[in-house]
Amino acid sequence: MNETHSPLFTFHLTGQISGDHLGDAGQEGLRPALFSAHQDLSKLRYDYPLVLINGANGSGYLLSLTDIINDLLRDIAPRGIGGERLRRHVLRLEDEIRSLAQNGNGSTFFQIWDLAEAALLSREDEAGRKSLEDSLRQAQGARRFDGEIIDCDDAAPAKVLTWTWMQVQESKARRFGEDLGELTLKLGDILKADFMKSEASYDAGRLRSSVGSSYEDTFDFDSMSDILATACVDGALPKPRLRRIRSVLSTLKSQKFFPPAGANANGGWRETTHNYVFDRCSAALEAFQKRLPEMVELVKAIAVARLEIAGRYQESTHDPFFARFDESFLEPGDLASFPSYLLCLRGDAGARAEMAPLTEILSSGLPIKVLLQNDDILEEMSIATRQFSFGFQGSQIAVMALGLANAYVLQTSAASLYALQESILGGLMHNGPTLFNVYLGRLGPSNGAAKNTPLAPAYLGAAAATESRAFPTFVHDPARGKDWAARFSLEGNPRPDADWPIHRFAYEDEDLQGITQDIAFTYVDFAAADGRYMASFASVKRPEWREFMIPVEAFLELDVDAAAKHVPYILMVDESNRLHRVIVEIRLTQAARRCREMWRSLQELGGINNSHARNLLAKEKEIWQQEKAQELTALSHRLEHEAGTPAPAMTAAEDRVTPAAEPAVAEMSGEVQAEVDVEAPPDEPYIETPRCTTCDECTQINNRTFVYNENKQAYIADATGATYRELVEAAESCQVAIIHPGKPNNPDEPGLDDLMARAEAFR
């Protein structure tokens, strides 16, 4: 190893900077290259801020500012140039709202809107103010939703979960209140009817009060009472039934699980009902156990009420049954009709003491919904191994919960809460326990550096955790089916079929030449966004770039011997957006490998790159090849026997299994096989898709016929949707000459002779 190479390998293996070839990434203020487009989130249109709205209007419980503004502009801004001024002004308002919402402090959407309007108008001259006022007046008249506006901060996960939970409980309370009201009314009617058959109902004083003072002197109520009493039919309820109905009514009216009918929802929940929101597992379990006898009595009272109303209560049968009725008689549907419990935990040292009771909750089958908020997943290195834990502590409880048959599990970052609101709602409505494992996105500053790395916003840190597989998104819903294919989903992750997501990155080199390349966003890039770990990165000056320096994603694919000959790097940018190659300490690449292995385990649960399917495919191929070889040998012997001369030996090429001969075997694996080049008919237009460079030339000519696949490579989706001229022009504009126009479909298209002559070059 020469003196130039030695510092690079030394840093990679030890983390020690030596010589003048390397720079301190922390002091240089570097950040991952893909962060360069996201320096000021207030200027970008993304999911946050969110507005917590009342779901009774049918629009859900959450709306993003972006969606609200988009819907508003669709309503009021005409298409084309006529609506351009209005769109421009309202989008300026959106930017201002987004900036103010970063310090909203519990403000409502309308309050922030009004502040943003005032700020915009204060910066306009007299002429501009009049035009802006007119646009904002129209926009304000089209506002439909108000509610608390929240940004992606420490409180966001708890606010989103609590708000959605409250709406679910309100809906449940309305249904319960309607049922309870109906039962109470019908039981009351039974008692009224019984009273009307009693002598007390014909008392002279009661008759006088029922007629009213206007006719008090017209009737002789004493005589009327005597006459009615002689006509009274003896049909009073038996005393045991009367006591039973009165007891049931008392239980129904005194229950504290839901607010009474007509009570203010918030006030009712706080003052007249039980509390259901907790911050400790033991408190939630204790409350549930304490209220269980009360719940049993209410369920029993409802069952008795329905039997009495239907006239089907048989004392000889039902009295013994309800005498021994206890919690063992409760069905899942009974528990589901009551409010669920919401448990909010923070994944810090204090919450770790809650892990044992949390496991008990998740395996109990109880309707307890748990929010486990992880503020920091880049933990300290293990004392035993001196290795980065890559957020294992944050994910371990969610991975453990996957093994529990009845637990609903949603793991995601705070950046994806809005996109996954349907999954959040599904977890809150699930009959059993639910775990919401959420990473906030907090990243730390660089310690002791001369120039600290800019602190990334929480939203960016949360999104980066999902991108890098450090905190992947997954949903386990037991209600969806009996197998993993139905119950487990990796939707919400970028490129769930790949180890790392790939992004197109454009920059200029030292000669100001534009360069575009694909780069992966790995666990190492995520760690590079956290200033606390800058000591594990060292920048390399451009003159010292060497061929043995390779991107991290390529380095991770090497075996031990090959990796020993290379140094991994990632691309980072400084405050001036200058590009740097930054080499990585070996402990981070080891952590990235472990992160990748955990991700691959999740992929298998989601049916992606399943090892069992691959092994089955390999076995089926081997069996097929053996059977084919036996058939070929038998055929060779038969030909030899019939011809009387030895048949020519099969060559290795002839004995090879071809892709076209294996479709049935491929189907058994459940995986998508690699595309096989098939010669297209000469008259049909086609594209050599695997060679496509994504230049956009053809899609700009006709984006209905020329379409990109999931790899951003073009293919012809509908040949009839393009004219022959468009096909020929696309072939001529293609930078790598992979488009073949074929022959025209329409013989009457103008200029065909010239077009066909031009197309000959691409046949």
Reply yes or no on whether the pLDDT at 130 is more than 60. Answer: yes
Confidence of residue 589 (pLDDT cuts 50, 70, 90): very high
Taking the CA of residue 461 as centre, how many other CA atoms within 13 Å lie in the half-sphere pointing to its CB?
A: 26
How far is the C-alpha of 372 from the C-alpha of 377, rounded, in Å?
A: 12
Q: Give the angle subtended at the CA of 146 by the CAs of 145 and 151, to the nearest 5°.
A: 110
Instruction: Report the candidate in 589, 591, 521, 572 with the shortest Cα–Cα distance to residue 13.
Output: 589
Q: How many CB atoms lie within 10 A of CB 707?
A: 16
β-bridge mates for residue 343, sequence order: 278, 370
Q: What 3-state DSSP class applies to 759?
A: helix
| Cα separation, 717 vs 734, whole angstroms | 17
Strand partners, 436: 371, 410
Q: Which residues contact 660 (CB under 8 A, 6 or more apart)?
A: 676
Distances (CA, A) of 652 to 619, 633, 646, 649: 21, 13, 18, 9
Tokens 């395996």 found at: 363
| Residue 2 pLDDT | 47
The Cα 497–Cα 610 span in angstroms is 11
Structure tokens at 674: 């690699």
Nearest Cα to Cα of residue 533 among 575, 579, 577, 592: 592
Quote the CA–CA distance of 145 and 62 in Å, as a whole number. Answer: 10
CA-wise closest residue to 35 among 620, 410, 353, 461: 461
DSSP lists the bridge partners of residue 540 as: 22, 581
CATH class of the region 686-762: alpha beta
Going by C-alpha positions, the residue among 718, 717, 713 that lies closest to residue 690 is: 713
Helix (H, G, I), strand (E, B) or coil at 757: helix
Region of 436 on the Ramachandran plot (φ > 0 left; ψ -120 to 50 alpha; else beta)? beta
pLDDT value at 450 more than 50? no
Judge whether residue 228 has pLDDT over 70: no
pLDDT digits (tens, 9 = 90+) for 392-431: 556 778 888 888 878 999 999 999 999 999 999 999 999 8
Strand 368-374 relative to strand 434-439, pairing: parallel
Lowest mean pLDDT among 71-80, 158-167, 308-317, 617-626: 617-626
What does the DSSP 8-state code read for residue 328? G
Q: How far apart are CA 199 and CA 28, in angstroms?
A: 97
Count CB-CB contacts under 10 A for residue 333: 8
pLDDT of res. 597: 92
Q: Among 3.40.50.970, 3.10.180.10, 3.30.360.10, 3.30.200.20, what is the CATH number of 341-489?
A: 3.40.50.970
Count of residues making up the chain:
763
Q: What percent of the chain has pLDDT over 70?
A: 80
What pLDDT, on the 0 to 100 scale, is given for residue 733? 84
Give Cα separations from 608 to 271, 405, 409, 472, 554 (angstroms).
51, 21, 19, 15, 21
Task: Give the model confidence (pLDDT) of 468-488 as tens digits.
Answer: 999 999 999 998 888 888 889
Round to whole Å and give the CA distance between 420 and 473: 10
Helix (H, G, I), strand (E, B) or coil at 614: helix
CB contact at 8 A, 304 and 244? yes
CA angle at 436 for the pair 434 and 441, rounded to the nearest 5°:
175
271 compared with 518, residue with greater pLDDT: 518
Angle between helices 281-310 and 355-362 (to 10 degrees): 20
For residue 391, pLDDT beyond 60: no
Alpha-carbon distance values, 17 to 4, 11, 287, 335, 452 (Å): 13, 6, 57, 61, 18
Mean per-residue pLDDT for 373-377? 85
DSSP state of 658: P
Q: Is the link from the previous residue into 690 a cis peptide, with omega within 30 of 0?
A: no
Q: Tell whether the model's pLDDT for residue 158 goes beyond 70.
A: yes
Name, in order, each residue with C-beta under 8 angstroms of 461's C-beta and a sequence gap of 6 or more.
440, 441, 442, 443, 529, 530
Q: Which tokens is 524 given?
A: 């190492």
* pLDDT bracket for residue 578 (50, 70, 90): confident
Q: Residue 108 gets which letter from DSSP?
A: B
If one counts every other C-beta atom within 10 angstroms of the C-beta of residue 167, the result is 21
Do the beta carbons of residue 109 and residue 94 sit within 8 Å? no
